[in-house]
């Protein structure tokens, strides 16, 4: 999640747009904010291969919180925003995170977990301007605003350390080797996936409908930022809102899981026709080719087949407040080439 020189080339281009509000953050703004956070992390002595954690819902500070680590040689751990205080404290301690970046929405859970996390030096809270905080818990925006917007002197590559869902016991952290190199020299696995998912194209518009703490959505957003693309961030998934955004922003790439397609199965026939037309426009195909309808029917029939052959759980409605899906492997990433590349 490091645009490097592309951040200067596309300074006025939106790095990302928040779907619900339309708020845009340009590459110039994104780079300034990520650099400020990197300076702050250095100021409290986080050095190469040290760890920090991020515990937030999708918001307009999530990506910069990752990007700072990727230019400061740090491991960062994104924590599922639906976990309990004891689960959060376990991941913080197990990852040896020294700083936690969270939001005012998550703060009650963090306060409950704080006493069980002796290794935490500081907690930065996004959106806490009007709240009374302690010496250890700081307002995010106010804290980083005191630091320079230019890059730190010792920029080097950092990467994520994400955790499994814990279905076979405690969640397990995946610690990748981290060579000491420049932040624009990506790890080989990311170069491979970037080409596989067709992020090596010009004028990519990526629609991110899933929680960014999941590995695949986080990786895709990272590819988008690294290539100067624009990411549309949905705070929660809604099938009709998804297709509206595809049409509004002329989306070229998105990533969906079976749960999302099952939600689409419940759309009316009229809504499905609208969805197919939106996919056609996103793929930059002519409606005469009927590619959107063909792609939609193929995806939906795949999901319907899995639901018919599986148990009844596939038919259960997801709680509205838990739009953030369980841990699922992506069904595929759709690009304007009209392909679905499994990952």
Strand, helix or coil at 265?
helix
Residues found in the chain: 343
pTM of the model: 0.80
- Torsion, Cα 103 109 115 121, to 10 degrees, reads -20
- Which of 140-149, 238-247, 302-311 comes out lowest in average pLDDT? 302-311
Confidence band (pLDDT; 50, 70, 90) for 337? very low
Mean pLDDT value across residues 255-265: 84
- For residue 139, give every residue at least 6 positions away whose Cβ sits within 8 Å of its Cβ, in sequence order, or none: 124, 125, 128, 129, 131, 133
192's tokens? 């491979």
H helix or E strand, kind and range, residue 144: helix 140-144
Task: Tell me what pLDDT residue 305 has.
Answer: 54
Rounded-to-integer distance, Cα 243 and Cα 226, Å: 25
Q: Please give the pLDDT value at position 17.
A: 98
Confidence of residue 186 (pLDDT cuts 50, 70, 90): confident
Q: What percent of the chain has pLDDT over 90?
A: 55
Rounded alpha-carbon distances, angstroms, from residue 321 to 167, 233, 324 = 22, 17, 8
> What's the pLDDT score for residue 168?
80
Nearest to 15 by CA among 281, 225, 290: 225
pLDDT at residue number 316: 38
pLDDT tier, 190 (very low <50, low <70, confident <90, very high otherwise)? confident
Report the C-alpha gap between 236 and 210 in whole angstroms: 7
pLDDT tens digits, one per residue of 14-73: 999 999 999 999 999 999 999 999 999 999 999 999 999 999 999 999 999 999 999 999
Predicted local confidence at residue 287, as pLDDT = 43
Q: Give pLDDT, residue 99.
A: 98
pLDDT score for 236: 94
Across the strands, what pairs with 55? Answer: 102
If one compares 185 and 81, the residue with the highest pLDDT of the two is: 81
- What is the predicted pLDDT for the residue at 82? 94
Distance linking the first and last C-alpha atoms of the chain: 19
Question: Which run of H or E residues covers position 234?
Answer: none
Q: Binning pLDDT at 50, 70 and 90, where does residue 256 land?
A: confident
* Tokens read off for 236: 């929660």
Q: How far apart are CA 157 and CA 180, in angstroms?
A: 7
Q: Please name every residue paired with 204 in a beta bridge, in sequence order, or none if there are none.
A: none
At 167, is the pLDDT very low, low, confident or very high (cuts 50, 70, 90)? confident
Please report which confidence band the pLDDT of residue 296 belongs to, taking 50, 70 and 90 as the band edges.
Answer: low
* Mean pLDDT in residue range 96-103: 98
Kindly report, residue by residue over 216-255, the tens digit of the pLDDT: 899 889 989 988 999 999 999 998 899 889 889 999 999 8
E strand intervals along the chain: 14-18, 24-26, 51-55, 75-78, 97-103, 122-126, 137-139, 159-160, 205-208, 230-233, 253-256, 332-334, 340-341
């Amino acid at each position: 999640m490091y645009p490097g020189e592309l951040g200067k080339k596309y300074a006025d281009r939106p790095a990302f747009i928040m779907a619900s509000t339309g708020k845009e953050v340009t590459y110039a703004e994104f780079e300034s904010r990520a650099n400020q956070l990197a300076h702050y992390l250095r100021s409290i002595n986080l050095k190469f291969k040290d760890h920090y954690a991020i515990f937030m819902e999708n918001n307009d500070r999530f990506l910069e919180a990752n990007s700072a680590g990727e230019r400061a040689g740090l491991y960062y751990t994104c924590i599922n925003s639906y976990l309990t205080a004891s689960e959060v404290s376990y991941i913080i301690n197990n990852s040896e995170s020294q700083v936690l970046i969270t939001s005012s929405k998550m703060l009650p859970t963090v306060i409950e977990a704080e006493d069980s996390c002796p290794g935490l030096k500081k907690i930065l809270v996004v959106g806490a301007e009007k709240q009374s905080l302690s010496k250890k818990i700081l307002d995010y925006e106010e804290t980083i605003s005191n630091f320079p917007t230019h890059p730190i002197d010792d920029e080097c590559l950092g990467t994520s350390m994400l955790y499994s869902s814990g279905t076979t016991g405690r969640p397990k952290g995946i610690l990748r080797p981290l060579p000491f190199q420049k932040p624009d020299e990506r790890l080989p696995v990311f170069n491979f996936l970037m080409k596989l998912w067709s992020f090596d194209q010009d004028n990519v518009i990526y629609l991110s409908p899933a929680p960014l703490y999941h590995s695949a959505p986080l990786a895709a957003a990272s590819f988008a930022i690294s290539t100067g693309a624009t990411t549309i961030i949905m705070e929660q998934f809604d099938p009709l809102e998804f297709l509206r955004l595809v049409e509004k922003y002329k989306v070229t790439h998105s990533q969906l899981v079976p749960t999302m397609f099952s939600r689409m199965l419940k759309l009316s026939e009229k809504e499905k026709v609208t969805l197919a037309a939106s996919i056609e426009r996103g793929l930059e195909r002519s409606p005469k080719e009927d590619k959107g309808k063909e792609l939609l029917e193929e995806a939906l029939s795949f999901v319907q087949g899995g639901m018919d052959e599986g148990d009844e759980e596939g038919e259960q409605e997801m709680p509205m407040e838990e739009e953030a899906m369980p841990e699922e492997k992506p069904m595929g990433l759709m690009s304007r080439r009209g392909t679905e590349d499994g990952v």
